Amino acid sequence: MNWIKSKGYSKSKVDFSGKVLIDKKSSTEEKDRAFEVLDNWRAIHKYPMHIFKNRLKRVSERIDNDALSVQRLKRLPSILKKLQRKYYGNRPTMNLSQMQDIAGCRVVMSNVELARKLYKENYLRGDLKHKRVNEKDYITHPKEDGYRSIHLVYRYRSDKERKKDYNGLLIEVQIRSKLQHLWATAIETVDFFTRQAIKTNEGQKEWVDFFRLVSSAFAIMENTKTVPNTPTDKKELYLRIKEKEKELQVIKIMNGWTKAVRIFEEAVKKKPKLQFFLLELDIVQEKLSISGYTENQEERAISDYARAEKRNQGQKEYDVVLVGADTTNDLKKAYPNYFVDTDEFLIKLQEILDKT
């Protein structure tokens, strides 16, 4: 395979391009040049990412036959959004060349014991020649928002002359248990359909609280540390989850979304020109209404969406969403077993509710 090579942009040029792209005063011409730099910077991470992914797959499957490993390059909108967040006043606290998750690979292990074994035997005490520059054990120390996983960041290094161009690029490795992955998939689903950003701590409080509580319940199932500032008493924790689930109608609404994605996929197969879908979900009656629109009907789709939102304003029993076919594909790419993962999350959630 022919891997993309660096065009020789310096790190200062890369950092400058990142600043240009998030500066509202930048001209179209300036942004076009900056995008060229960013495109190449992101693309050259493919080779070292491939190397780390191959190793991750090999060592994880030695330990767990059911280990699932994937790789991904960070999407351009996500890169820009992260750069915008990393500001203090008018000064950036992180430059583009310092971003540690431009390229990453992730493995989902069957349980937390196997996740820890992989981490300890192959990364903590492994024979990697690449330099580990960052390490976060969010299983031992869960984040405030409930996120639990192990993150490792390496600086790629090769002695081969043809591969020295990639030296110094940062690659992130994530190790999760299946339960931790189900939780993360559920958050991606809610973010996608409600246009929130729970994943980046910008979500609605009721959803943020719900996921923090569920993460603690999952931690109890795994006999690991619970999320800070959540109930330590199991009965109280489960009761709080039950209250939140009833308030948000989580099971009914997520079942509706999953059904909708299946319908989107079938619709696009039959009519490839469909690009937008308007989803109207009656949560109480569990009725789903979907309208499809072509690329040329985008204005009509937005207009119909606005009318549907206005019609159902203030009614919690109705959910209205306008989504694009390309973004549903992005969701499936990020989470290859999306349907299975979402269904399993709801099964685990029901198990918690049945204990109250």
Phi, then psi, of 228 in degrees rounded to 5: -55, 140
pLDDT of residue 90: 62
pLDDT of residue 88: 56
Q: How far apart are CA 230 and CA 213, in angstroms?
A: 6
Q: List Cα–Cα distances, 287 to 191, 245, 250, 254, 283, in angstroms.
A: 22, 19, 15, 13, 7
Q: How far apart are CA 49 and CA 92, in angstroms?
A: 26
Q: How far apart are CA 18 and CA 36, in angstroms?
A: 11
Name the amino acid, one letter, at 229.
N
> Of 41, 21, 39, nearest to 30 (Cα)?
21
Q: HEC states along 46-62?
A: HHHHHHHHHHHHHHHHH
Q: How far apart are CA 136 and CA 57, in angstroms?
A: 21
pLDDT of residue 206: 95
- Each as own residue / partner, the long-range contacts of residues 297-303 (CB below 8 Å, 24 or more positions apart, any chain) are 301/276
Q: How far apart are CA 141 and CA 342, in angstroms?
A: 25
Below-70 pLDDT ranges, the chain: 1, 87-92, 126-127
pLDDT of residue 127: 65
Q: How many helices (H) and strands (E) does the chain have?
A: 12, 10
Residue-wise pLDDT for 35-44, tens only, equals 999 999 999 9
> Of 188, 201, 220, 15, nearest to 106 (Cα)?
188
The full length of the chain comes to 356
pLDDT of residue 287: 86
194, 199, 205, 210 alpha-carbon torsion, rounded to 10°: 90
In terms of phi and psi (left: phi > 0; alpha: psi -120 to 50; beta: otherwise), the region of 71 is: beta
pLDDT of residue 268: 83
H or E element in which residue 338 lies:
helix 338-353
The CATH class given to the 11-177 domain equals alpha beta
pLDDT of residue 201: 79
Largest CA distance in the chain: 64
What would the two tokens of residue 47 be?
Answer: 């080779």
3-state secondary structure of 265: helix
| Domain segments of the chain as ranges | 11-177, 182-248, 250-336
pLDDT of residue 92: 65
Strand partners, 153: 134, 172
Residue-wise pLDDT for 296-322, tens only, equals 998 999 999 988 888 877 777 788 888
pLDDT of residue 41: 96
Q: How far apart are CA 228 and CA 211, in angstroms?
A: 13
